[in-house]
């Protein structure tokens, strides 16, 4: 029975929850602080609180131990700039205007954002790291930002100076360490009379996966298990077939996997590595990399691997480098936690760890994200909870990144503006009693960046607990216009391999899902969003 998808009912329940939760927390004594840690492209498969197959992330897991793990956490648009815009505004992409990463679709910094509201209500706010939105950030007392995607080694940061201008400063070292140092430094020098909201936005673990020199040699003996769907044939899934994100075919040996030594040819992308990423490193940093990667490259080109052998070789390299980057990330989260603990801030601070979206670790043969399929629509989300929020264990309700802004405002005792589309998650965090009146049972998703890198066609859809309906539309990178629907039964087919759209036995469900999607598009004012 999908009756409760009707927009009106959702509005009533959601408003009811927000006001009661706000007063609950506002009655507390100490104002609560917020530390929001967001990485880039960190798959939940590489968070051991979610999945123990690949790496261990003890510091991220510890956050969940003193709080909660969200088992059904999703983004609204699986791409960096748009995801960050959803987080800041509490609105879906068509409402906040940042539908894709392209500069032609600039984020309007003048609009209402959650940090601006926190700041106007007495919070001290800071942003450190990757924002990936055009223009000058607003709503922060302090910001020190990686321009664009940022660099792993010896990165540039932009920050306001005291003459009313902006300085671009190159910092020495590895980005995850630098972002953490800056965060701790800000905490140390902040105005300690005010509550604070600190946004720590890591560049890790974005492509290409550059480890810190101290982690370069880790995981080299580990053989990662191949995902069940590594050799996907994409049957019945046109957009999946057309996407250009296959490890086998689209991952570049030089650029993505650092195999520059003796490379028989170097592509345009490859030159980004040899002339760009690699050149940014200092000679002593390059030497550490060379020592591992050069013999591997020599050996690879000698063996001249083909077919499955090459695909699996690339997969192992990808997984190993990614694991190294995650290990540094987790260690640095531990460092930040250590500071908060030493300064007695744990009891009155909400600490959030999430990523800007999920990421493919070889499932369907892929890297990257973008799709509404679960691997990329999901994102890790754990929270260490302050005193007064006593829920422990798993939160199993479906939540989305448009909920963070309302949650933080609610935590601060501030009324959530009516035009925010997300909902406060505080009612889910109060205690271990079952939550009443949580009527959200479907999520809306929309991806817009096509034609674009990786050639993932535009699509939007609805996800319920058990089902998914997706509409793919528009031109792809080759200029081909295609329009088609996909539908999945997530209970029987969690890997979303079997498109059941137009299967007669599912016709009633299909009609219901169409109705549900229409009402979500109406509810979120997305009827004309394409
Ligand atoms: C870069 C990457 C892509 C990636 C996008 C978006 N290419 O363009 O692989 O999908 O970022 O990622 S690269 O050659 O520059 O590495 S996002 O997380 O920032 O949205
Ligand atoms: Ca990202």
| pLDDT tens per residue across all 530 residues of the chain | 232 333 333 433 333 333 333 443 445 446 899 999 999 999 999 999 999 999 999 999 999 999 999 999 999 999 999 999 999 999 999 999 999 999 888 999 999 999 999 999 999 999 999 999 999 999 999 999 999 999 999 999 999 999 999 999 999 999 999 999 999 999 999 999 999 999 999 999 999 999 999 999 999 999 999 999 999 999 999 999 999 999 999 999 999 999 999 999 999 999 999 999 999 999 999 999 999 999 999 999 999 999 999 999 999 999 999 999 999 999 999 999 999 999 999 999 999 999 999 999 999 999 999 999 999 999 999 999 999 999 999 999 999 999 999 999 999 999 999 999 999 999 999 999 999 989 899 999 999 999 999 999 999 999 999 999 999 999 999 999 999 999 999 999 999 999 999 999 999 999 999 999 999 999 999 999 99
The pLDDT value given to residue 104? 80
The pLDDT value given to residue 306? 96
What region, left, alpha or beta, does residue 132 occupy, with left being phi > 0 and alpha being psi -120 to 50 degrees?
Answer: left
Residue located via tokens 């956050």: 63
Residue nearest to atom 8 of ligand 1 (CA): 453
- For residue 256, which atom of ligand 1 is closest to its CA? 16
The pLDDT value given to residue 8? 33
The pLDDT value given to residue 184? 98
CA distance 80 to 131: 8
Name the pTM for this structure.
0.95
Check if 101 has its Cβ closer than 6 Å to any atom of ligand 1.
Answer: yes
Question: Ligand 2 centre from 112 Cα, in Å?
Answer: 23
Sequence-distant (≥ 6) Cβ neighbours of residue 330 within 8 angstroms:
56, 57, 58, 59, 60
Ligand found nearest the CA of 41: 2
Question: Ligand 1 centre from 24 Cα, in Å?
Answer: 41
Check if 512 has its Cβ closer than 6 Å to any atom of ligand 1.
Answer: no
The pLDDT value given to residue 26? 47
177 burial class (0-12, 13-18, 19+ CB within 10 angstroms)? middle
Sequence-distant (≥ 6) Cβ neighbours of residue 289 within 8 angstroms:
213, 216, 258, 278, 281
Question: Do residues 501 and 486 touch, judged by C-beta distance below 8 A?
Answer: yes
- Retrieve residue 149's tokens: 């995607």
Sheet with 467-473, edge to edge strand ranges: 442-447, 458-464, 467-473, 484-489
Question: Do residues 100 and 82 touch, judged by C-beta distance below 8 A?
Answer: yes
The pLDDT value given to residue 204? 98
Backbone angles phi, psi at 357, to 5 degrees: -175, 180
CA distance 235 to 229: 12
Check if 331 has its Cβ closer than 6 Å to any atom of ligand 1.
Answer: no
Residue nearest to atom 2 of ligand 1 (CA): 207
CA distance 187 to 308: 50
Tell me if residue 191 falls in helix, strand or coil: coil
Question: Do residues 203 and 154 touch, judged by C-beta distance below 8 A?
Answer: no
Check if 449 has its Cβ closer than 6 Å to any atom of ligand 1.
Answer: no
E strand intervals along 360-412: 381-384, 393-395, 399-400
Check if 454 has its Cβ closer than 6 Å to any atom of ligand 1.
Answer: yes
- For residue 41, which atom of ligand 1 is closest to its CA? 18
Q: Fill in the DSSP letter of residue 475.
A: B
- The bridge status of strand 124-130 relative to strand 196-201 is parallel
> Which contacts (CB < 8 Å, 24+ apart) does range 144-149 have?
144/182, 146/175, 146/203, 149/203, 149/206
Backbone angles phi, psi at 236, to 5 degrees: 80, 5
Question: Ligand 2 centre from 41 Cα, in Å?
Answer: 4
Question: Ligand 2 centre from 30 Cα, in Å?
Answer: 34
Return the closest-CA partner of residue 468 out of 518, 525, 509. 509
189 burial class (0-12, 13-18, 19+ CB within 10 angstroms)? exposed
């Amino acid at each position: 029975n999908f009756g409760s998808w009707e927009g009106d009912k959702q509005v009533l329940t959601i408003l009811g929850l927000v006001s009661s939760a706000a007063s609950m927390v506002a009655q507390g004594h100490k104002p609560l602080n917020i530390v929001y840690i967001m990485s880039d492209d960190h798959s939940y498969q590489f968070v051991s609180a979610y999945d123990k197959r690949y790496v261990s992330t003890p510091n991220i897991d510890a956050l969940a131990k003193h709080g909660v793990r969200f088992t059904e956490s999703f983004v609204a648009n699986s791409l960096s700039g748009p995801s960050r815009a959803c987080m800041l505004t509490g609105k879906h992409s068509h409402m906040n205007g940042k539908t894709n990463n392209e500069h032609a679709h600039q984020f309007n910094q003048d609009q209402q954002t959650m940090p601006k509201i926190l700041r106007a209500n007495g919070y001290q706010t800071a942003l450190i790291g990757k924002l990936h939105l055009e223009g000058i950030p607003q709503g922060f007392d302090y910001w020190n930002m990686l321009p664009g995607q940022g660099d792993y080694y010896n990165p540039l940061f932009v920050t306001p100076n005291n003459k009313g201008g902006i300085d671009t400063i190159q910092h020495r070292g590895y980005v995850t360490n630098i972002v953490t140092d800056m965060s701790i430094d800000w905490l140390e020098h902040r105005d300690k009379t005010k509550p604070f909201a600190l946004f720590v936005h890591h560049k890790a673990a974005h492509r290409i996966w550059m480890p810190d020199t101290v982690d370069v040699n880790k995981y080299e003996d580990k053989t990662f298990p191949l995902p069940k769907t590594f050799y996907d044939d994409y049957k019945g899934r046109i957009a999946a077939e057309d996407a250009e994100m296959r490890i086998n075919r689209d991952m570049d040996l030089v650029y993505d996997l650092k195999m520059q030594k003796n490379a028989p040819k170097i592509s345009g992308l490859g030159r980004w590595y040899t002339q760009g990423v690699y050149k940014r490193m200092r000679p002593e940093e390059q030497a550490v990399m060379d020592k591992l990667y050069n013999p591997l490259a020599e050996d690879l080109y000698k063996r001249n691997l083909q077919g499955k052998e090459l695909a699996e070789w690339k997969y192992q390299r990808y997984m190993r480098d990614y694991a190294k980057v995650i290990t540094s990330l987790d260690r640095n989260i531990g460092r930040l936690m250590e500071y908060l603990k030493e300064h007695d801030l744990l009891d009155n601070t909400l600490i959030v760890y999430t990523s800007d979206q999920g990421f493919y670790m070889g499932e369907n043969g892929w890297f990257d994200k973008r799709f509404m399929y679960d691997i990329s629509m999901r994102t890790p989300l754990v929270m260490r909870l302050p005193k007064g929020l006593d829920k422990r264990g798993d939160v199993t309700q479906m939540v989305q990144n448009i909920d963070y802004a309302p949650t933080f405002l609610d935590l601060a005792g501030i009324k959530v503006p009516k035009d925010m589309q997300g909902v406060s998650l505080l009612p889910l965090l109060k205690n271990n009693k079952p939550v009443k009146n949580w009527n959200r049972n479907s999520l809306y998703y929309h991806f817009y960046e096509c034609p674009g890198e990786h050639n993932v066609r535009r699509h939007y859809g609805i996800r319920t607990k058990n089902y998914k309906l997706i509409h793919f539309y528009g031109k792809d990178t080759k200029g081909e216009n295609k329009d088609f629907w996909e539908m999945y039964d997530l209970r029987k087919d969690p890997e979303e391999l079997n498109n059941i759209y137009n299967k007669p036995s599912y016709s009633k469900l299909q009609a219901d899902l169409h109705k549900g999607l229409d009402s979500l598009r109406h509810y979120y004012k997305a009827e004309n969003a394409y």
